[in-house]
């Protein structure tokens, strides 16, 4: 198993730099069920942030991308079951992906709720405004 940094995933998914994207594509295509790539939670949060902020992808597109990463046999996403719960919350709210992750982490840790000043995040399950 090898770890994959955010910039490798961005180059592969967006194909925005001919040289780096071809290297990222070759790497991703070389992965298999026996030689998997590992995506950490931090990498996933950074990836979503970049895809939304820099590439202006819509929520529906983000959900499809993260879902495809979760389903790929050649990839291991850290805490994949947890990420599926986060993805469901993200898909069904207006909160950002990282806010959904924070709310879900609190829930898993046994918090009754997570307090926030972010009004949009406060509408996500598990968060309340302070």
The CATH number of residue 72's host domain is 3.40.50.1010
Considering the domain architecture, whether residues 55 and 89 belong to the same structural domain is answered as no
| pLDDT digit string, tens, across residues 74-120 | 999 999 999 999 999 999 999 999 999 999 999 999 999 999 999 98
Q: Are residues 69 and 90 in the same domain?
A: no
Say if residue 92 is in the same domain as residue 74: no
- Within the chain, residue ranges assigned H as helices are 6-14, 18-30, 41-53, 59-71, 80-91, 97-108, 119-122
Same domain, yes or no, for 46 and 70? yes
Regarding whether 32 and 94 lie in a shared domain, the answer is no
Look-up: residue for tokens 């790539």? Answer: 37
73 and 30 inside one domain: yes
> What's the CA gap between 50 and 69, in Å, rounded?
16
Which pLDDT score is estimated for 47? 98
* Listed residue (105, 103, 109) closest to 125, CA to CA: 103
Residue-wise pLDDT tens digits, 28-69: 999 999 999 999 999 999 999 999 999 999 999 999 999 999
Domain that holds residue 4: 1-78
Q: Which residues contact 49 (CB under 8 A, 6 or more apart)?
A: 97, 98
**Contact partners, residue 10, CB within 8 Å, separation at least 6:** 16, 47, 50, 51
User: What is the count of structural domains for the chain?
Assistant: 2
Please write the tens of the pLDDT for every residue from 7-29.
Answer: 999 999 999 999 999 999 999 99
pTM of the model: 0.93
């Amino acid at each position: 198993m090898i770890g994959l940094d955010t910039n490798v995933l961005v180059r592969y998914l967006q194909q925005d730099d001919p040289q780096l994207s071809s290297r990222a594509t070759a790497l991703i295509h070389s992965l298999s069920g026996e030689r998997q790539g590992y995506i950490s939670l931090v990498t996933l949060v950074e990836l979503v942030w970049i895809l939304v902020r820099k590439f202006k992808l819509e929520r529906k597109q983000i959900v499809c991308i993260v879902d495809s990463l979760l389903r790929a046999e050649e990839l291991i996403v850290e805490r994949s079951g947890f990420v599926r719960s986060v993805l469901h919350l993200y898909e069904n709210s207006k909160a950002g992906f990282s806010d959904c992750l924070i709310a879900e982490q609190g829930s898993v840790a046994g918090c009754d709720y997570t307090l926030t000043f972010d009004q949009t995040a406060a509408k996500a399950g598990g968060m309340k405004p302070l």
